[in-house]
Structure 1
C-alpha cells in the first residue's frame, strides 16, 4: 500500500483509502468531495488511454422509462453548452476511443475514453455539465422520449426515439423473458420495473416527471466518479470541482443519496405462468426458468463462493446442471438465463430451459432440484474445484479492451459494487479472497452448505413458465390504439392547434443549425503523425514434419499466454465454400475425440485453458472484390504455468470425431435458438448484409453461409432431422470428410506472452507438433452458389424496421476508397443523423463504406419508418452534391477525419494488439499500407467527396433490404420488395 502522505489531492477532496494492485499496475485512490459527498475512485495507471465515468443511483419505481429518457435528454444541451445535441456533436469534435451512456436496472452511467489530454478535459467538461446542469428542454424530451403528434389524417400518434428503441428491444424473446421474471422475483424494489421503459407505460411519462427525477437522482451525493490512466489526479479533481461541484453547491439541495433496498423475502417458492409475443405458434416454444434471490454483492467472499458454486454447476458442458439442461428430453436447450447474475444489488441464480411445452414445468423444476441435491450430497472432486478456481484466475488475469477500452472495462467491473456502497477493490484484487476460498474448499461440506443455504433451502424461489402468444403483439397494438383513440376524443380545436404548434416548434428546433463553436474541440493537428503497430518476430519452426513459421509477440499479458494455430486456406477453395463449414466451426471444439467424449473434453479444456475456439479470419483482397485471404484459426489462452493448453489444440485438430449425434443435435439446436433470439438486437446488421450480399465474393459467401438464409437452412435441417434421423448420420459423414481434409493442411503458429515465458512456450509448441502426420489429402467437392440482386424484406419478430441500401463500390486499395470512407461520416454526421434519428424517430442510422464488401451502405435501426427512410438515404446524396466549398464544409470534413482517425488509433488490449497487427499483415494491410491510407484520408477534399458521390451513388443501381414485422408484408410488396420469412 502506498504512503498516503505522498498522495496529493485537490484541497476540496479528502482521502478515504488507497490500494495498490501490482499485477494490474494500478494505484487506487479513493476520495470524497468534502462539500457535496461525491465519491471519486481514481485508478492511476501508466496507460495513455485515459477513461472517465460518472454514474448515478437511478432507481425508478415505474415502467415509464424516466431513467432511460433522462439519460438521452440530459445529453441534449446544458447550461454551459446550450447546444441542441452536444453529445453527438462532441463525437465529431473529438479523438475519443469510446463515448456512450448506459441505463442499467439501478444506475445510469456516462463513460468516455481518449488518448488525447486536451480531448479528455473537453469531454469531461461536457459530461459534467450535461449530467448536473442539463437544460431538459420540453422539445428535447418530446424528441428523445415521447410525444403525441397528428398524422396526415389528423389522427394522434405516438412518437419518440426511446419509445421506438424500446418497442424494438421489447420485441425480443429474451428481453421479454428477463423482464417478466424480474417482476415476480422482485415484487417491491426497483428491479420490478423496466428501467428502459415499457412502450405501453412510456406514453404516460410527462416532462415534469423527468425534471423531478433529475432533481431527485442527479445529485453529487448520489453519484460515483471513476477515472483511469496517467493524467494526474489533482488535475481531474480540479476540473470536477471547478466545472460542477463548486458551481452547483447552492443548487444541489433537492436531491439526496438513494439507498439500495433489500427485497422482501418470499416465505415460500412460487410458480407463475406468463406469455410472450411470437409471430406464429409452433411446438416447443415454452421457457421454464427457476430463479433464486441471493444475498447482496457487498460481501466479496460470499460473492466469490457463489461464483465457485456457479462453476461447479454450469461452468462447462460436463458440469452436472448444465449437462442436465443441455440434454433434457423435454426441452431443446438451456435457457440463456443460466448461472449467477451479480450485476444487481442482490444476486440471482438462474436455471432453466427453452424449447419446451407448458405441461413439463413440474418435471423440469423437480429435475433441477434433484441435480442440486445430488451435487450437494456427493463429494466434488478436488480436480473439479481446481478447474473452477483456475477459470476464476484466468478471468481475473485476462486484460480485455478489444471491444471497450481496458480502463473502462475495469471501471465497469467495479462500478456496480461502488454504486451500492461496496468496495470495488474486492472486484479488482481478488487474490486474498481467492486464497480464502482455497482454504474453504478443503472442507468437504463447503459446497453442500452453499447449495442448501442459497438454493435448496432458499424460499425466495420463482419458477416462471413463459408460453408463446401469437396474438399478444396485436393486443398490444390495440391497447396503444385505444389510448390514442381516447386522446382523440379529448381533442378540441384548441388542443389540436397546440399539438400542431408543438410539432412545428420541434421541427424548427431540429432544423436550426447549432452554434457548435460553443463546444470545445480538438483538430487535425492533434492527430498523431504515426500509427501504433505492434511488431513481432517471425521464426522458423517444424510443425507436423513440415517447415513452417511461428509468430512471437512479447506483451504485458499479466501471467497469461495466447496461442493460436493458423491454417491458410487460400489454396483450398473447397474448404472456404463448403456448405458445412459454419457447422464444423460450431462443433469442432465442442464434440468429443477418439479418446474422450464431448463432456469430458469440455472439462479438460476448462481445467487447462479458457477453452478452445475455432473461427475463420478472412478479408477481401485490397485490389480485387473477387479475391480474399482466409485462415482457419484455432485459439486458446491459459496461465503461463499451464503448458497443457498447448496440446489441447493438437487434440482438437487431430483427434476430433463427429460421431456423438446427440451432442451435435444439442449444439445445433442451441445455436439455432440463440440465433433467432438475437435477431431483434442485430436487425440492421442483417439488413446491411442482405443489401450488399452480391458486391464481393466474401459478401456472397457470408450471406449464404452466415446470414438469414443460413438460419433458415439450419431450422429446416433440424425440423427434417426430427422426422428423418438418418440425416444426422449424413451430416456426420460430411463433417468427418471435411475434417479429414482440414487436419492435413499446413500450419503456422502464433504465441503472445511476457518475454520470460516465450522461449519455453515456443519449445512446448514445437514438441506438441513433433510427430509427422500423413499429409495426403482426400478430395473435396468445390461448391458454388449464386446470389440474386432482388430488394429483399425479411419478415421477423420485430416491432420496428431495420433498413439498408447498398451501392457497388471499390476495394480498399482503390484511389477512391479514402474519399468513400470520409463521405460516409460526412453524410452520417450532417444529414442522416438529423433526418433519420431526430426527425424520423429511429434509434439510429447512418452510412458506411465497407471495403471488405466493396459496398457503400446506408442503414437505420429500430426505425418506425421504411419508405421515408429510403427516401432520406437518397436525399442525402443530392444534399452532398449541392454543397459549396466553405469553412462549414471544411469543418465537416475535419470532423469526419477526426472520427476515422480515432477509430483507427483505438488501442486494443496487449494481446489484441499483437493479433490485430499479425492479421493486418497477413491480409495485406501492414504498417506501411495503413500509414499510406492515413495520409490519403487526411488529403480528402469536398471535390473528392462530390466526385465519388457522383461516380458511385447518384442515379446508380442499388439494392434495398429491410427487416420488418410480419404484418407489413403487403406494404413491402407494394414497395417492390421480395418477401422472405425467418422461419
Structure 2
C-alpha cells in the first residue's frame, strides 16, 4: 500500500488513546517492564532506556541489537491486542517506485515460506486484527496485530522471513511491479500492453487530483534528495525499473542495521526478542547503510511552480477547479518539543471556523476547502485553497500574506489555545481498539530520522513546557509565526489547474512509452515475453501448497463470546441503555432519532442536515462560539445518517440519525447543554454560512470517489435489491454526490435553508429518540442525573401526538433484544420491488471500480453464516488470483453484507469486463466444489478475526443499541459459523449466487467503455 505524502499538518497525537487494562493480571505489563535495567543483556539486545509514560499508561523499553545495531522499542501496556512492526528507512533516488514494488514483492514468498503470496494466505490462517504494509516517502513499514499469543508468534515468523529472506522471484516482480505482456496472454498475436499491480495502483492513485497535487508539492518543496521523487512510483517511470535494481535495493535497505522494530501490548518482551534473534538477526552482521536523509538546504528566495490535472466532472463548480497553496519549510521533526509547538501552532492557524485562515480563505467563499500539505524529514506548513476561479489565484496569495501579518500583530485568544489543549487531553484519555497501530504510526516518521520515540510520547511534558513558554513570553506564538513564516525564504507557491486534454495527454504518453519499449524488442524478445506470460499465468493458476505456513485451528477460537452487561432504563420517558465500562474518565453519549415521520421529499437532504446541524450555531452562540465551546467541553459532536437493516427481514429497516459525542466527566453538564441548544434553538438564519458548508461538503464527496470507488460501486449495485440499500445509496452513494453537486451550483440556497428546520422538527424530538451512555461505574449515577436534566430541557420538542416508536421502550428494556420484535418498529417501502439493474458511471479515471451484488438472506437466517464464510473463501482461493494476480487490479473479492447482500467488487482495476466474468467464474468454481474443508476452515478463521475484533470501552454495547443485536443473537451466529461445512458452501452458492437464482445488480465506475455504452442492458450515467 502506498501511503505517499501526508495531508496538512495536524496535532501529531491525533490517534493516541488512553488507559484501562484489557485483561487483568496480578502484575501489570507496564510494571513488569519497569523491572528491566539499563545495560541489561537480553537475547542479543542491550537495554538502553526504561521509561514510564504515565500519559499513556505504558512503559517504554528501548534496546539496541548488539551485533547489527538494529533499534528496538517495546511499549508494555495492558492491552491484549498486541502489535509488531518493523520499518526500514527506504530512500529512493528515482521515481521507478522501487520501495513500493519491493514492499509488494517481499510478501510473495520467502526462504522458509516459499509458497506464493504467504502474506495473503496468512489472512486466512490467523486471527489477526490487522495485517498490512505501507510505503511512505522515506520509510516502509510492516505491521500486524493480534489478540492470540500463538498467532503472534506465527505471524512474526512469516513477517521476519518475508522482509529479511524474501525469494524476490522474477515472476513476482512482473506480477506486482510491471511487465510487458500480450493483452491476451494465450494469444501471441494480441497487442503488447503494460501490466502490473503497482503500475495500476499508481495510475489509480494519481487519478485523484488531491494526491497528484500533494505529491508535486513535496517534490517541489524538497527538491534536493529523496523527496524529489515519487516513492510509490510514477506510472510512466515504473517500467524503467529492472529486477536487478529491485534486488539491489533490498540488499542495501532491508538490513537489520537499517531496521527499527516496535512491539506493543501485554505479551512478554523476552519472547519477542528471542524469536527475532533466532529467526532473523543472528544471521546478520552490522553494515553502514547509506540511507540517511539530509536536511533540505534552505532557499534564499521563495519559488513558484505550476502543475496541471484532469478536470473533475463532479466538481461543485466546473468553472472553479484551480488549487493554490503556499508552503513553508519549517524545523527538524526530531526536535520533539519544537515539532509539538509547530503542530499546535498550525492547528491554531487553520483548524475550525475560529482559525484566522478559515476566516480569511473559506468564509469569503473564494474556494471550497484547504489544500494539502506534506510530512517529511523537515516539518512543513501549507495553506491554500482548492475549488477556486483562476482569476482569484493572485488574490489568495495576498490574503495568505496578510493573514500571517494579522496573526503576528494580534496573536491568538487564550480560550482558543485552551480549547486545543483540551483537545489533547481528550485524545490522551480516549481509548482505541487499535492503539498499538496508532502508536506505531505516530512514532514512525520521527524515529525514522533518528529522533527519540520515547521523548515523543511525553505529551504532558510538552504541554507543561508550552504553557511555561507562553507565561514567560506572551508573544511566544507570534514570534514563532514571525520566524517560520514571515521571515522564511524557503517558501513555495504551487498552483494547479485542470487541462481539458490532460487525460488524452496521459494516454498518449503511456502509448509512447509502450511503443518505445516495443520498438526495442527483437522477435526473440517478443517470443520470450509471450512464453514468460504463459509461465506466469501457469504459476498463477496452480493450486498452492501452503503446508509450510504456520496456522491456527478453528479449535483455537473461543466457542463463546464474552458478554457485555448493560442496564436498561428511561430518562424523561426516553429509553436509555447504560453500559458501565473502564472509560478512563470519559463519558460517551449516543442518541438515535428515527425518520419515520419525515416526508419522502426531505430524505435526500438528511446527509446535508447531519453535516451542518452542529455547525450553524444554536441558542445564544453563533457558529464560531459554538465551535469554540464544543472544543472546550467535548471531544466532538457529530450527527450521521443511519439505515439499519432488520436482522430477520430484507424488506424491513430502521431509518434515522445517530447523535454522537464524548466528554471528560467534569464537562458532562456542558456537553448536554450544547445538545440542548441544538434541540431547542438551532440557528437557520445564516445563508452565507450554509453556502460555505455546502461547498466544503460537495468538494469532500467529489474528492473521495477516486480513493473509495469500490464502495460507491457496491452501494450503487445494491440499490435495486432491497429498500435498505436503496435508501443507503440515496444517503451515501453517487445519488448523494450528484445531488450535493447540484446544491453547490445553486446561486440561491434559501430554499435549502428553509428545509432544515422542517427536518429538525421531525428528527430532534424526544418521541423519536432512544439513548445510550458508556461511562465508569463511579460516574454513572451523575450521568443519570444529567441525562434526566437534558431530557427536561428538551421536553419542548415533544410533539402533541402519540409516540411514533412505542415498541422500542418495551424492546430495549428486555435483557435480550429479539430482532423479530423490532419489525413493527422498522420501516418498509411497500412500493419497492427488487429488480435487476446495471449502471455505468463514466468518470475521468484510468482504472475501474466494479461491483456485482446479489440479494440473499438476512442476518438471522440459517444460511447467513455460510455466505459469510463463502465470501472469504472465494476471495482468498479464487478471486484474489483472478482479479489481482492475473487481472492486475489493486484489489478485489467478495463479502457478505449485514443487509443480506452478497457483494463482489474490484478496486483500481484495469479491466472491468474480465473482472465481471471472474465473478461468475468464482461462483462456478464453488459450485464445482474445487476446494477442501481445510480451505473452509481457513475462511472461518478469517471471518472470526473480524467477528472477534477488539472493541474499545466506548463502543461496548453499541451493536445492541443500534442494531438490536444482543449477545445471545451474536452467540447464535457464532455457533452457525462454527458449524459451516464444505457442502454448505456449495449449497448456498448454487441456491443464491447461481445465475438466474437471485436478483442482482451491477455497477461500474471508470473510464470510457464503448462496449458497455453499446449494450442496452446498461444504464449509462
Q: What's the TM-score bracket when you normalise by the shorter of the two chains?
A: over 0.9
TM superposition shift of 1:575: 7.7
TM superposition shift of 1:977: 5.3
CA distance in 1, matches of 2:103, 2:761: 54
Q: 2:512 aligns with which of 482, 487, 491?
A: 482
Cα deviation digits, residues 197-240 of structure 1 (max 9, x gap): 11011111111110111111111111101001111111000000
Which residue does 1:942 correspond to in 2?
982
Which residue does 2:1002 correspond to in 1?
961
Q: 2:564 aligns with which of 534, 545, 559?
A: 534
CA distance in 1, matches of 2:727, 2:249: 50
CA distance in 1, matches of 2:332, 2:420: 22
TM superposition shift of 1:257: 5.4
Superposition map of 1:55-134 within 5 A: 55-134=87-166
Q: Does residue 904 in structure 1 map to residue 947 in structure 2?
A: yes
Q: 1:805 aligns with which of 852, 855, 861?
A: 852
Superposition map of 1:384-783 within 5 A: 384-401=416-433, 405-442=434-471, 443-542=473-572, 547-569=573-595, 571-572=596-597, 574=599, 578-643=603-668, 644-719=670-745, 721-722=746-747, 725=748, 728-746=749-767, 747-771=769-793, 772-776=795-799
TM superposition shift of 1:631: 4.3
Do the aligned partners of 2:38 and 2:48 also contact (CA within 8 Å) in 1?
no
Q: 1:217 aligns with which of 232, 246, 253?
A: 253
Do the aligned partners of 2:320 and 2:387 also contact (CA within 8 Å) in 1?
yes
Distance change in 2, residues 1:960/1:195 (3 Å): farther
Do the aligned partners of 2:653 and 2:828 also contact (CA within 8 Å) in 1?
no
TM-score (norm 2): 0.90
Superposition map of 1:7-46 within 5 A: 10-46=42-78
When the two structures are aligned, how many residues end up with a matched partner? 953
CA distance in 1, matches of 2:965, 2:704: 32
Which residue does 1:857 correspond to in 2?
903
Q: 2:393 aligns with which of 361, 366, 388?
A: 361
Which residue does 2:291 correspond to in 1?
258
Do the aligned partners of 1:76 and 1:136 also contact (CA within 8 Å) in 2?
yes
TM superposition shift of 1:27: 1.2
What 5-or-longer segments of structure 1 have no aligned partner?
none
TM superposition shift of 1:784: 9.7
Q: 2:370 aligns with which of 335, 343, 347?
A: 335
Cα deviation digits, residues 759-812 of structure 1 (max 9, x gap): 333323323333342522699999998686431111112110111112221111
Cα deviation digits, residues 685-716 of structure 1 (max 9, x gap): 11111111122221000112321022112212
- Further displaced range: 489-498 or 671-680: 489-498
CA distance in 2, matches of 1:525, 1:715: 52
Which residue does 1:890 correspond to in 2?
933
CA distance in 1, matches of 2:801, 2:613: 19
TM superposition shift of 1:95: 0.9
Corresponding residue SS for 2:680: helix
Do the aligned partners of 1:221 and 1:257 also contact (CA within 8 Å) in 2?
no
Distance change in 2, residues 1:749/1:704 (3 Å): closer
Q: Does residue 158 in structure 1 map to residue 183 in structure 2?
A: no
Do the aligned partners of 1:390 and 1:607 also contact (CA within 8 Å) in 2?
yes
TM-score (norm 1): 0.93
Which residue does 2:15 correspond to in 1?
none
Corresponding residue SS for 2:758: helix
Corresponding residue SS for 2:535: helix
CA distance in 2, matches of 1:697, 1:674: 27
Q: 2:873 aligns with which of 826, 837, 856?
A: 826
Corresponding residue SS for 1:518: coil
What 5-or-longer segments of structure 2 have no aligned partner?
1-30, 805-826
Q: 2:268 aligns with which of 232, 238, 242?
A: 232
CA distance in 1, matches of 2:797, 2:579: 30
CA distance in 1, matches of 2:830, 2:363: 36
Do the aligned partners of 1:358 and 1:465 also contact (CA within 8 Å) in 2?
no
Q: 2:408 aligns with which of 369, 376, 387?
A: 376
Corresponding residue SS for 1:908: coil
Do the aligned partners of 1:58 and 1:107 also contact (CA within 8 Å) in 2?
yes
CA distance in 1, matches of 2:233, 2:872: 31
Q: Does residue 139 in structure 1 map to residue 171 in structure 2?
A: yes
Which residue does 2:377 correspond to in 1?
345
Distance change in 2, residues 1:933/1:636 (3 Å): same
TM superposition shift of 1:356: 1.0
Distance change in 2, residues 1:785/1:16 (3 Å): farther
Which residue does 2:808 correspond to in 1?
none
CA distance in 2, matches of 1:99, 1:580: 38
- Further displaced range: 709-718 or 102-111: 709-718
Which residue does 1:931 correspond to in 2?
971
CA distance in 2, matches of 1:466, 1:785: 48
Do the aligned partners of 1:316 and 1:606 also contact (CA within 8 Å) in 2?
no
Corresponding residue SS for 1:770: helix
CA distance in 2, matches of 1:309, 1:778: 52
Corresponding residue SS for 1:42: strand
CA distance in 2, matches of 1:474, 1:778: 61
Distance change in 2, residues 1:533/1:201 (3 Å): farther
Which residue does 2:5 correspond to in 1?
none
TM superposition shift of 1:740: 2.1
Cα deviation digits, residues 144-183 of structure 1 (max 9, x gap): 0001112344432110000011111110110111012112
Do the aligned partners of 1:574 and 1:783 also contact (CA within 8 Å) in 2?
no
Corresponding residue SS for 1:897: helix
Corresponding residue SS for 1:803: strand
Corresponding residue SS for 2:837: coil
Distance change in 2, residues 1:958/1:568 (3 Å): closer
CA distance in 1, matches of 2:159, 2:65: 18
Cα deviation digits, residues 10-44 of structure 1 (max 9, x gap): 23110110111234331111101100011111111
Distance change in 2, residues 1:767/1:851 (3 Å): closer
Do the aligned partners of 2:89 and 2:291 also contact (CA within 8 Å) in 1?
yes
Cα deviation digits, residues 910-933 of structure 1 (max 9, x gap): 212x2xx23335423110111111
CA distance in 1, matches of 2:337, 2:733: 44
Superposition map of 1:963-978 within 5 A: 963-968=1004-1009, 970-976=1010-1016, 978=1018
Distance change in 2, residues 1:439/1:234 (3 Å): same
Which residue does 1:881 correspond to in 2?
927
TM superposition shift of 1:389: 1.2
RMSD value over aligned CA atoms?
2.3
CA distance in 2, matches of 1:922, 1:316: 30
